[in-house]
Each structure stands twice: as C-alpha cells, then as structure tokens.
C-alpha cells in the first residue's frame, strides 16, 4: 500500500483502498451470493479494522460507480483561515514577549479570540503569570498581562517538576 492510499481524508477514518475495495464487494454482492455479514467479516479480515455500517458501504458504492471515486464532497461553510496567521503570531511572540494580548491583537490586526485560539491551540502555549506578590486589580480584569506565554508542559515534564519541588526522584514520586 502506498503512502497516498494509507492517508485518510480529514473527515473519514477509512483509507481510499478500504473504501474502493469495499465498494466493489458491495457492487458484486449479488453476483457472488454474499451477505452483509460476509462483507463485514471480509472487511475485518482484510483490513484488521472494524467495518463501517451498511449505509456507509452503500454510500461508497454509489460514489464509486456514479462519480468514479470515493472522495467526500467538498464541505460547505467558511474555510479555516486562522492557520495562515500562525507564523506571524509565533514571530510576534519571539520579538515582543511582553506585549499584552490586547496590544498584540491590535498590532497583528487579529481579533483577540482568534489570537488566543492560535496561541493556545496551534502553538500549544499557556500563559504563566509572573507572581510579584502584589494583589493587582488590573490583573483580574486583564488576565493576559503581567506574565509571559510559555510552551505548554507535557504530563511527564509536569511530573518531573513536581518531584523536584518535593525533592524526590521521579520514580518515587507517585
């Protein structure tokens, strides 16, 4: 199986090979005297994956023999465009890490919610407040000021840091 066949589309967990082979099986079901149970067991045996339901099989067959491929139709709706801004946000964080979310949003010309989504989800970062010991009313109303954006720690890194605080080796810290 080539890399192209092994890749699945974003909306499907089945490969193109699985879809095409199963569509042919469904199409030839009447000629080969096969039942749906046979098709399901063949799918499981050949691809070592749970078979989809009957309507999915029928949909693949209809697409293959009417359109000529098993590609999903292009989805309607507004395309996701925030990903094109990720490199600019990354560069902005490196150049000026002390900017507040509001200032950075204004500088980049992005909505604050989009900027926050890019930083949290796409760059996998979290905001770490610098504790200076003073209770600042502004901090409560502007939660993304007075700190820095840092790469989100993985569970393993968090466990190591927690063990360091407790002065225990990682293996003994559970």
Here the tokens at position 91 are 């560069």
Q: What pLDDT, on the 0 to 100 scale, is given for residue 162?
A: 58
Distance CA 42, CA 49 (A): 10
**Which tens digits make up the pLDDT trace of 150-159?**
787 776 665 6
pTM for the complete prediction? 0.45
Q: What pLDDT, on the 0 to 100 scale, is given for residue 127?
A: 78
Distance CA 110, CA 102 (A): 10
List of long-range contacts for 51-55, beta carbons under 8 Å, 24+ apart? 51/22, 52/14, 52/22
Ramachandran sector of residue 77 (left: φ over 0; alpha: ψ -120 to 50; beta: rest): left
**Which tens digits make up the pLDDT trace of 20-40?**
999 999 999 999 999 999 999
Q: Is 73 exposed, middle or buried (0-12, 13-18, 19+ CB in 10 A)?
A: exposed
Q: What pLDDT, on the 0 to 100 scale, is given for residue 168?
A: 56
Distance CA 46, CA 51 (A): 10
Q: What pLDDT, on the 0 to 100 scale, is given for residue 132?
A: 63
Q: What pLDDT, on the 0 to 100 scale, is given for residue 126?
A: 84
Q: What pLDDT, on the 0 to 100 scale, is given for residue 27?
A: 95
Contact between 20 and 14 under an 8 Å Cβ cutoff? The reply is: no
Q: What pLDDT, on the 0 to 100 scale, is given for residue 105?
A: 92
Task: Determine whether domain 82-131+138-172 maps to CATH 1.10.10.
Answer: yes
Q: How confident is the model at residue 1 (pLDDT cuts 50, 70, 90)?
A: very low
Q: How confident is the model at residue 85 (pLDDT cuts 50, 70, 90)?
A: very high
Q: Angle at Cα 123 formed by Cα 119 and Cα 126, nearest 5°?
A: 55
Q: What pLDDT, on the 0 to 100 scale, is given for residue 73?
A: 80
Query: Can you tell me the mean pLDDT for 9-27?
Result: 86
**147 φ/ψ angles, rounded to the nearest 5 degrees:** -170, -165
**53 φ/ψ angles, rounded to the nearest 5 degrees:** -80, 170
Taking alpha carbons only, the member of 119, 106, 113 closest to residue 147 is: 119
Q: Would you list the domain boundaries of the chain?
A: 10-66, 82-131+138-172
Here the tokens at position 99 are 């900017």
């Amino acid at each position: 199986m080539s890399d192209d066949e092994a890749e699945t589309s974003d909306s499907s967990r089945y490969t193109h090979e699985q879809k095409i082979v199963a569509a042919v099986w469904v199409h030839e079901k009447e000629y080969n005297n096969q039942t749906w149970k046979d098709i399901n067991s063949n799918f499981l045996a050949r691809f070592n994956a749970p078979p989809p339901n009957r309507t999915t099989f029928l949909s693949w067959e209809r697409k293959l023999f009417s359109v000529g491929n098993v590609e999903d139709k292009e989805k309607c709706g507004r395309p996701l465009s925030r990903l094109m801004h990720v490199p600019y946000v990354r560069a902005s964080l490196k150049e000026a890490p002390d900017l507040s979310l509001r200032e950075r949003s204004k500088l980049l010309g992005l909505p604050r919610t989009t900027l926050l989504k890019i930083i949290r989800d796409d760059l996998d970062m979290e905001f770490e407040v610098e504790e200076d010991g003073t209770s600042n009313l502004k901090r409560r109303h502007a939660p993304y000021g007075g700190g820095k954006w840092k790469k989100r720690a993985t569970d393993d890194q968090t466990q190591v840091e927690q063990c360091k605080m407790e002065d225990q080796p990682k293996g003994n810290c559970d």
